[in-house]
Amino acid sequence: MPTDRISFKGFCKTLNRLEQRVEDISGGIGELDEAARFLTERLDVHRQAQAKQKQQATVQTSPVNSLSTADVSLLFGYVSDTLHICHTLVLQRVPDICP
């Protein structure tokens, strides 16, 4: 049975190279952890902003969504009539703005 013996100096060199590799890998893992933490924070901020926008959009559209088509048409008719009346009143009070 052949037995390969390694000298103590060779073993120490190999062990030093291995320790250096472990340190390099640990440093890389630390950098990756820091980058992951930074990206997670940015993602959380983005997620909160999207949730806020979604909530605002839901709040803004929910009253109109709860109305039927006939109700929406009636509402728009009232709004249109109101704007027309306001326009007419302004023209009566300030006739100089009418060409």
- The total of structural domains in the chain comes to 2
Q: Which of 21-25, 90-94, 95-99 holds the top average pLDDT?
A: 21-25
Torsion of CA 10, 13, 14, 20, to 10 degrees: 180
Query: Does 23 share its domain with 35?
Result: yes
Query: Does 51 share its domain with 95?
Result: no
Query: Does 53 share its domain with 10?
Result: yes
Residue 45 clears pLDDT 90, i.e. is over it: yes
Amino acid symbol at 92: Q
Query: Does 54 share its domain with 72?
Result: no
Domain carrying residue 88: 67-99
Query: Does 54 share its domain with 74?
Result: no
Query: Does 37 share its domain with 81?
Result: no
Region 68-78 average pLDDT = 89
Residue 94 is classified by DSSP as: -
pLDDT (0 to 100) of residue 1: 46
pLDDT (0 to 100) of residue 92: 85
Rounded to two decimals, the pTM is 0.43
Find out whether 24 and 31 touch, Cβ atoms under 8 Å. Answer: no
Task: Tell me which of 36-40, 43-47, 95-99 is least confident.
Answer: 95-99
